[in-house]
Structure 1
Amino acid sequence: MVVRARASVGTDKVEAMAARAGERVPGPSPRTRAAIARRLAAASGQMTTAAVGEMEARHPWFSELSAEERSWITLVAQAGIDGFVRWFSEPEDEGRGAGIGVFGTAPRALARAITLQQTVELVRTTIDSVETQLHEVMPRGDRGHLQIAITQYSREVAFGAAEVYARAAELRGAWDARLEALVVDSVLRGDTDETVLSRASTLGWRSTQSVAVVIGPADDSGAARPLEEVRRLARNRDLDVLAAVQGDRLVVVLGGVVLVDQDAAVTQATHLVGAYGPGAIVVGPVVEHLVDASRSARGALSGLRAAVAWPGAPRPVGSEDLLPERALAGDGHARRALAMDVHGPLAAVNGDLLETLTAFLDSGSSMEATARALFVHPNTVRYRLKRVQQVTGFSPTDPREAYVLRIALTLGRLQR
Structure 2
Amino acid sequence: MDDRAGAPGPSAGTLHRLERASGAIATQAVARMDEQLSWFRTMPADQRSWVMLVAQAGIASLVEWCRNPDRPPRLTGEVFGAAPRELVRAVPLKQTVDLVKVVVEVLDDHVREVAEPGDADTLRLAVLVFSREVAFATAHVYATFAEDRGAWDARLEALVVDALVRGERSEELPGRAAALGWAVATPVTVLVGAAPSDRDAHGAARRAARTMRSEALVGVHAEQLVVVLGGAEDLGTAADRVAEEFGPGPVVVGPVVEGLARAPESAAAALAGLRAAPAWPGAPRPVAADALLPERALDGDPLARLALEERVALTLQAAGGELLETVGAVLASGGNLEASARALFVHPNTVRYRLKRAAELTGFWATDPRGGWTLQVALALSRLGGERSLWQ
- The corresponding residue for 1:389 is 359
Secondary structure of the structure 2 residue equivalent to 1:272: helix
Corresponding residue to 1:300 among 262, 270, 290: 270
SS in 2 for 1:141: coil
1:287 counterpart = 2:266 = no
Q: Which residue of 1 aligns with 2:52?
A: 74
2:302 maps to what in 1?
A: 332
- 2:217 corresponding residue in structure 1: 242
- In structure 2, the residue matched to 1:183 is 160
- 1:41 paired with 2:41, answer no
Matched, 1:230 2:200: no
Q: What letter corresponds to residue 276 of structure 2 in structure 1?
A: A
Query: CA separation in 2, counterparts of 1:302 and 1:233?
Result: 25
Q: Which runs of 5+ in 2 are unaligned?
A: none
- 8 A Cα contact 2:305 2:381, kept in partner: yes
Residues 22 and 60 of structure 2 are in contact (CA less than 8 Å); yes or no, is this contact kept in structure 1? no
Distance change (3 Å), C-alpha of 1:289 and 1:54? closer
Q: Specify which of 135, 147, 164 is matched with residue 141 of structure 2.
A: 164
* 1:43 counterpart letter in structure 2: L
C-alpha distance after superposition, 1:131-183 (max 9, x if no partner):
22222221342222222222221111011011111212222232233223333
Structure 2 residue matching 1:271: 3-state secondary structure:
helix
Unpaired segments of 5 or more residues in structure 1?
A: 1-21, 260-264
Structure 1 pair 272/336, CA: closer, same or farther in 2 (3 Å)? same
Contact 2:18 2:114 in 1 (8 A): yes
CA positional deviation for 1:86: 2.9
Distance 2:23 2:6 in 1: 25
Which residue pairs with 1:344 in the alignment? Answer: 314
Cα offsets for 1:91-121 (capped at 9, x unmatched): 445x476566422333212223433233212
Partners of 1:71 and 1:311 in 2: how far apart? 66
Q: How many residues align?
A: 383
The counterpart of 1:361, out of the listed 325, 331, 337, is 331
Q: Distance between the aligned counterparts of 1:314 and 1:368, measured in 2?
A: 32
| Higher Cα radius of gyration | 1
Matched, 1:217 2:194: yes
Distance 1:141 1:398 in 2: 96
Q: Is the 8 A contact 2:197 2:247 kept in 1?
A: yes
Does 2:120 correspond to 1:150? no
Q: In 1, distance between residues paired with 2:103 and 2:123?
A: 15
Q: Check whether the contact 1:88–1:149 (CA below 8 A) recurs between aligned residues.
A: yes
- Aligned residue type for 2:24: T
Q: Report the CA distance between 1:324 and its aligned residue.
A: 0.7
Helix, strand or coil for the counterpart of 2:134? Answer: helix
The amino acid across from 1:82 in the alignment is: A
- Structure-2 residue corresponding to 1:129: 106
Note if contact 1:356-1:381 (Cα within 8 Å) is conserved in structure 2: yes
Moved more, 269-278 or 53-62: 53-62
Q: Distance in 1 between matches of 2:300 and 2:378?
A: 14
Question: Could you say which residue in structure 1 is the equivalent of 2:229?
Answer: 254
Report the TM-score, using the length of structure 1 for normalisation.
0.82
Runs ≥4 residues deviating over 6 A: none
Q: Is the 8 A contact 1:394 1:405 kept in 2?
A: yes
Contact 1:219 1:276 in 2 (8 A): yes
Please, which of 116, 120, 123 is the counterpart of residue 139 of structure 1? 116
1:100 and 1:160 in contact (8 A); partners too: no
In structure 2, what is the Cα distance between the partners aligned to 1:207 and 1:80? 42
Give the drift of 1:351. Answer: 3.6
Matched, 1:24 2:24: no
Seen in structure 2, the aligned counterparts of structure 1 residues 89 and 252 have a Cα distance that, compared at 3 Å, is same
More deviation in 212-221 or 326-335?
212-221
Cα distance change of structure 1 residues 339 and 48 upon mapping to structure 2, 3 Å threshold: same
After superposition, give the CA deviation of every residue in 1:211-245 in whole Å (9 maximum; x if it has no partner): 32222222232x23x33343343344343433322
**Kept in 1: contact 2:30–2:52 (CA 8 A):** no
SS in 2 for 1:215: strand
- Residue 197 of structure 1: which of 169, 174, 181 is its match? 174
CA RMSD of aligned residues (A): 2.7
